[in-house]
Amino acid sequence: MIKVLFFAGVKEQIGQDFIELDDRGWTVGQLKHHLLEKYPQASESLANVMVSVNEEFADDGTKLHENDQVAIIPPVSGG
Amino acid sequence: MSNQQVPIQAEHFRIVTEPISVEEVISRVVHPHAGAINTFIGTVRELTRGRKTLYLEYEAYVSMAEKKLQQIGQEIGERWPNSRVAIFHRIGRLAISDIAVAIAVSTPHRADAYEASRYAIERIKDIVPIWKKEFWEDGEAWIGNQKETVAYPTGKPEGLE
């Protein structure tokens, strides 16, 4: 399984802290596309997110693997 | 004293839910080779763009946020020799004037401590997964990136390795 974590506004729009998906050999870009289709209510937010894989920022070409922990990271506002 | 990079210590970079003790953050960077300790304290502001905030909530991806704070400490260690850094960021509900973030940097000479401290807060606003939600009398909203780099054309924050 691949665990996908949601935070902040994206979490509220999707209504879940995380989901688990079967490993389908996807890239980060393919996962984002899947989320956009599955959660149209969050499409505007999802268009502006970064993605981390196992706690490191990853680009759309990064390949996902079994047991990866992915996080959908809206624009940050700490400090 | 040679110009060396001081190894970072994980316990100097923390996401906390309790009020931040500035003294505790400072104590982590006290060192006989330091001639200056600069502290930056970020507090909750009541007015943003004329709108009155009642309180804030901060949320973090805690494990990654602590890792990214450590990365900032590592970067500072590479740029400013013999520096020491500690950064605590609080999450949860914060009232006006509460301390959201405290940064302490010690260096042999003062100019470096000022520069490194500024570097740390700017990097926090770029790469650390922490989010702020403002609560007003008439609504609430998650606040996006405040450095106007929201779209991330490269898919990553600017300046990221």
Cα separation, B16 vs B151, in Å, equals: 29
Residue B14 lies in a domain: yes
* Residue B3: HSE in the Cβ half-sphere, 13 Å Cα cutoff: 5
Q: Look at residue A44 and tell me if it is in a domain.
A: yes
> Which domain CATH number covers A23?
3.10.20.30
* Domain encompassing residue A69: 2-73
User: Within a domain: residue A79?
Assistant: no
Tell me the chain B residues in contact with residue A57 when contact means C-beta distances shorter than 8 Å.
Answer: 127, 156-157, 160
B145 in a domain, yes or no? no
Residues of A within 8 A of B67 (CB-CB) are 55
The answer to the question of residue A28 being in a domain is: yes
The average pLDDT across B2-30 equals 94
**DSSP class of B12:** G
Q: How many domains is chain A built from? A: 1
Pick from B160, B157, B143: nearest CA to B58? B143
Q: What residue numbers bound the domain in which B73 lies?
A: 10-138
Q: How far does Cα A13 stand from its chain's mean position? A: 13
Instruction: Give the separation between CA B140 and CA B137, rounded to whole angstroms.
Output: 8
Q: Which residues pair with A73 in a beta bridge?
A: A50
Tracing tokens 């702020």 back to the chain, one arrives at: B132
DSSP A62: P
The pLDDT tens digits for A25-68 are 999 999 999 999 999 999 999 999 999 999 999 999 999 999 99
Q: Which value does ipTM take for this structure?
A: 0.96
B76 domain residue, yes or no: yes
The CATH number of whichever domain residue B65 belongs to comes to: 3.90.1170.40
Range list of β-strands (E), chain B: 13-16, 36-43, 47-48, 51-60, 84-90, 92-95, 99-107, 130-136, 139-143
Does residue B147 lie within any of the structural domains? no
Provide residues of A within 8 Å CB-CB of chain B. 5, 7-9, 12, 48, 50-52, 55, 57, 59-60, 71, 73-79
Place of tokens 């624009």: A75
Is B3 inside a domain boundary? no
Tell me if residue B91 falls in helix, strand or coil. coil
Cβ separation A77–B145 shorter than 8 A:
yes
Query: Nearest residue on chain B to A29, judged by CA atoms?
Result: B155
Q: Of the candidates B148, B127, B144, which has an alpha carbon nearest to the alpha carbon of residue A57?
A: B127
The residue with tokens 């691949």 is A2
- CB contacts of A73 in chain B (<8 Å) are 61, 129
Residue B49 falls inside a structural domain: yes
Best residue in B16, B53, B61 to probe A by mutation, most A CBs within 10 Å? B61
pLDDT for B30 equals 98
Domains in chain B: how many in total?
1
Per-residue pLDDT tens over the stretch B52-95: 999 999 999 999 999 999 999 999 999 999 999 999 999 999 99
Alpha carbon distance A2, B122 (integer Å): 32
